[in-house]
RNA sequence: GCCGGAGUAGCUCAGCCGGUUAGAGCGAGCGUCUCAUAAGCGCUAGGUCGGCGGUUCGAGUCCGCCCUCCGGCACCA
């Protein structure tokens, strides 16, 4: 039995945060579980490096892009090592083996007739710097600039994704386990039913990326490039033997935001190239911090190393696995983390190890040996093992952890009810005492075995203390998970594994290390970031560009420092709202007529959820006056109203103590 | 707006095909043993199972409508 497991590869424009670590940790638990279950496992992670952001970031830092990526690899590997993520291989998209695979696969898609050169022809408005669809034009003119767009062509390669809709739907029908959890599957199936458009897979004239084999002037689009890591890492196009050994993958562990890429685009690419599809894709949820999305600007990013330093990597791993139903979103807070640490580790498991080893030392001379039939704990352990396996096989990692803890709790109960200290005082209960101590030690051994994939370091130590003779890596669930009888074992008493936290713990939380560690990565602005720059390259309108979503959850965009000159390019003006009305059929859009002092303009703002149009009339606001016009819901918007936009919250307009005259420059 | 998901004890959540007094863990309170990290063990929660109506002998558990929250898409310039 073989099992090839992957996680999403990560963008390298910032250090991994807790959410990224969550994915790797849960995947690592799965990998370790499979190995423990005797399955030959190949676990691969990596970095996604061919992004323009990475290129820009390196340039900003005055570094060679590749050198920058090398450095980031080191940072990522350090984090994964600290969290004991046991990957077997680490793939980078700048590696030769990856380039070979990408070009190979692109070539196969081309040969399958699925890649066509879309030297797309279309209307292009020079003023807008954007393609226009026929339906956008009014009397053949750009509605914004009242000028005739040019008919131009831009070379682009497209992948015939549309061709695979039916096959994908059929696959989903025949293999309901292909995408888990179910919520994600429903979303994708609906998306497929709605139909698919072909997608662009190349960008012309980009140096940072992999050239298309049949058009060296075009680079493979970064997400197309990135997905291929799953096969390049196992030798596709470069090592046929290795490839045959591991492909198809048993499981891709990814974030729920990128299921489309993995369950629509990726399988279609594989079908086109004549490769088997992975058995399963699992879209895990996100980890929030105190209920809020982790965001640099909100200061809600938790560095996984801070968490690991605080209580240890194993407690962090247990927390993430046991407290968050795998597949759902979950929340992290220091309070909760410490609460769980005390309850599960200090009070239950850790204390159990202490009391058992102490009693064995005191009442049994440090050795245990059964003197009869096992008591009730043997049955509990067998049940725990069974439900643990059932849960883990279904990727219900949290239930697997709970099953192990049921055994731990039962062992504590067992000790209370069998009262070894009473048995030890009597002279006629030697056999009973021996059996009770043996059973308790054996139950701890089984529990530690079950938790070994989740807490590898600590559980290895527990196994050592309860006299497990087998090397940790050689332990196997079916053989070693069974209740042992007969042989005597020596136990070791040692310091508490997880000292209980007392008192005002939260105050001791280390200052987030993000600041000290990321100075070379991000400089935080004091204020919310400026609105994003205008959309970069024009896209073929009839063939929507793939969402900019990378193959990992996009890290919060780093806001780069700009010069005063750059800032002065932005023309901020005071404006007064003269008319405001809801854009019909829209959820957030308000259409406004504003007074800029010298002129009146129409613009559209996405603030309807927070402001009633009527309440806006007469109000003084700040707008970006020199923004390119855009058409929203058929309305031309000439400018952007500034508002604070909290993550997931309602926007709040900028206001003045005393409204200045319309047209006043803001800076 | 469309399409999904969810609303169950203070908190986090279980509750399969409808069926006796609705559960677990944490927290809190009380009691208790003493091997243990002032840990363990036992007891204690009287919760309109979001609301209204319906099907049924009987509904968190099925149906309809409504409310709230979350996610995806559409429209955040």
> End-to-end alpha-carbon separation of chain A, Å?
65
Q: How far is the CA of A43 from the C1' of B73 (A)?
A: 34
Cβ neighbours around A73 below 10 Å, total: 17
Closest residue to B5 by CA to C1' distance?
A183
Which tokens is A124 given? 């292009």
φ/ψ (deg, to 5) at A282: -120, 120
What is the percentage of chain A residues whose pLDDT exceeds 70? 82
| Sign, Cα dihedral of A305, A306, A307, A312 | positive
pTM score of the predicted model: 0.79
Q: Give me the interface pTM, i.e. the ipTM.
A: 0.90
Q: Report whether A377 contacts A416 (CB < 8 A).
A: no
Report which of residues 174-203 in chain A place their beta carbon less than 7 angstroms from any atom of strand B: 183, 186-187, 190-191
The mean pLDDT value for A487-492 works out to 92
User: Tell me: the pLDDT tens digits for A49-72?
Assistant: 988 778 888 888 899 999 999 999
Q: Which H, E and C letters describe A404-429, residue by residue?
A: HHHHHHHHHHHHHHHCHHHHHHCCCC
Q: How far is the CA of A595 from the C1' of B52 (A)?
A: 49
CA A221, A223, A225: angle at the middle one, nearest 5? 70
Find the helix or strand (DSSP H, E) in which A364 lies: helix A351-364
Instruction: Judge whether residue A312 contacts strand B, using its CB and a 7 Å cut-off.
Output: no
pLDDT of residue A616: 82
**Cα A666 to the center of its chain, rounded Å:** 39
Q: How far is the CA of A315 from the C1' of B27 (A)?
A: 20
ω before A248 within 30° of 0 (cis)?
Answer: yes
Instruction: Judge whether residue A263 contacts strand B, using its CB and a 7 Å cut-off.
Output: no
Residue A647 φ/ψ region, left for φ over 0, alpha for ψ in the -120 to 50 degree band, beta for the rest: beta
Give me the half-sphere count of Cα atoms (radius 13 Å) on the Cβ side of residue A269.
28
Weakest-pLDDT range from A6-20, A84-98, A145-159: A145-159
Q: Report whether A322 contacts A402 (CB < 8 A).
A: yes
User: Tell me: the pLDDT tens digits for A300-342?
Assistant: 788 999 999 999 999 999 999 998 888 888 888 888 899 899 9
Q: Residue A640 pLDDT more than 80?
A: yes
> Helix, strand, coil: what percent of chain A each, to 5?
40, 20, 40
Shortest CA–C1' contact from A638: which nucleotide? B77
User: Tell me: the pLDDT tens digits for A413-447?
Assistant: 999 999 999 999 888 878 889 999 999 999 999 99
Report which of residues 447-486 in chain A place their beta carbon less than 7 angstroms from any atom of strand B: none
pLDDT of residue A222: 83
Which tokens is A656 given? 């003045």
User: Tell me: the pLDDT tens digits for A164-223?
Assistant: 999 998 998 888 889 988 888 888 888 888 788 888 888 877 788 999 999 988 889 888
Concatenating the DSSP letter of every residue in A144-170 gives TT-SPPEEEEE--EEE-GGGGHHHHHH
Beta-sheet strand order (sheet of A150-154) = A130-132, A120-125, A150-154
Shortest CA–C1' contact from A360: which nucleotide? B35
- Based on its alpha-carbon atoms, the radius of gyration of chain A, rounded to whole angstroms, reads 30
How many residues make up chain A in this entry?
667
Instruction: Judge whether residue A548 contacts strand B, using its CB and a 7 Å cut-off.
Output: no
Shortest CA–C1' contact from A425: which nucleotide? B35
């Amino acid at each position: 039995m073989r099992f090839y497991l992957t996680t999403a590869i990560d963008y390298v424009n910032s250090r991994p945060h807790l959410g990224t670590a969550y994915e790797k940790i849960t995947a690592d638990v799965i990998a370790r579980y499979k190995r423990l279950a005797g399955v030959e496992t190949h676990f691969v992670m990596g970095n996604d490096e061919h992004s323009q952001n990475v290129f820009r970031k390196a340039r900003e830092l005055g570094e060679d892009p590749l050198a920058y990526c090398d450095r980031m690899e080191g940072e990522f590997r350090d984090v994964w090592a600290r969290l004991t993520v046991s990957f077997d291989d680490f793939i980078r998209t700048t590696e030769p083996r990856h380039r070979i695979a990408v070009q190979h696969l692109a070539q196969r898609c081309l040969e399958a007739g699925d890649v066509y050169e879309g030297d797309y022809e279309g209307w292009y408005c020079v003023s807008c710097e954007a393609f226009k669809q026929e339906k956008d034009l009014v009397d053949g003119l750009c509605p914004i600039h009242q000028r005739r767009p040019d008919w131009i062509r831009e070379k682009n390669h497209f992948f015939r994704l549309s061709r695979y809709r039916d096959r994908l739907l059929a696959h989903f029908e025949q293999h309901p386990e292909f995408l888990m959890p179910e919520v994600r599957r429903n979303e994708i199936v609906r998306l497929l039913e709605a139909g698919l458009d072909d997608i662009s897979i190349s960008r012309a004239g980009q140096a940072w990326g992999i050239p298309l084999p049949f058009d060296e002037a075009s680079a493979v689009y970064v997400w197309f490039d990135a997905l291929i890591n799953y096969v390049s890492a196992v030798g596709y196009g470069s090592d046929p033997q290795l490839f045959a050994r591991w492909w198809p993958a048993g499981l891709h562990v990814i974030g729920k935001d990128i299921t489309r890429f993995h369950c629509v685009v990726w399988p279609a690419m594989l079908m086109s190239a004549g490769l088997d599809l992975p058995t399963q894709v699992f879209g895990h949820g996100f980890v929030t911090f105190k209920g809020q999305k982790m965001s640099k600007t909100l200061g809600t990013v938790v560095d996984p190393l801070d968490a690991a330093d605080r209580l240890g990597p194993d407690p962090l791993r247990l927390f993430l696995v046991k407290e968050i139903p795998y597949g759902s979103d979950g929340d992290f807070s220091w309070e909760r983390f410490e609460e769980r640490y005390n309850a599960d580790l200090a009070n239950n498991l850790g204390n159990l190890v202490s009391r058992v080893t102490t009693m064995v030392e005191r009442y049994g001379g440090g050795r245990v040996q059964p003197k009869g039939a096992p008591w009730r704990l043997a049955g509990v352990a067998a049940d725990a093992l069974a439900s643990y396996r059932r849960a883990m096989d279904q990727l219900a990692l949290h239930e697997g952890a709970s099953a192990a803890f049921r055994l731990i709790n039962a062992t504590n109960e067992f000790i209370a009810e069998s009262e070894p200290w009473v048995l030890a005082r009597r002279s006629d209960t030697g056999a009973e005492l021996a059996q009770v101590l043996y059973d308790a030690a054996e139950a701890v051994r089984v529990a530690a075995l079950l938790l070994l994939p989740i807490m590898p370091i600590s559980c290895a130590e527990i196994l050592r203390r309860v006299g497990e003779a087998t090397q940790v890596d050689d332990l196997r669930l079916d053989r070693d998970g069974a209740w042992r009888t007969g042989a005597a074992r020596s136990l070791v008493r040692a310091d508490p594994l997880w000292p209980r936290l007392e008192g005002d713990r939260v105050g001791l939380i280390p200052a987030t290390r993000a600041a000290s560690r990321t100075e070379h990565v991000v400089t935080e602005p004091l204020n919310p970031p400026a609105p994003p720059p205008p959309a970069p390259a024009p896209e073929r309108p009839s063939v929507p560009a793939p969402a900019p979503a990378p193959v990992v959850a996009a890290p919060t965009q780093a806001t780069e420092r700009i010069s005063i000159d750059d800032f002065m390019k932005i023309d901020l003006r005071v404006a007064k709202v003269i008319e405001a009305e809801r854009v019909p059929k829209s959820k957030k859009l308000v259409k406004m007529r504003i007074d800029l002092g010298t002129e009146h303009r129409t613009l559209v703002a996405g603030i309807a959820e927070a402001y009633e149009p009527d309440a806006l009339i007469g109000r003084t606001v700040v707008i970006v006056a020199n923004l390119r016009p855009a058409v929203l819901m058929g309305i031309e918007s000439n400018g952007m109203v500034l508002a604070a936009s909290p993550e997931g919250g309602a926007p709040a307009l900028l206001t003045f103590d005393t409204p200045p005259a319309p047209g006043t420059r803001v800076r």
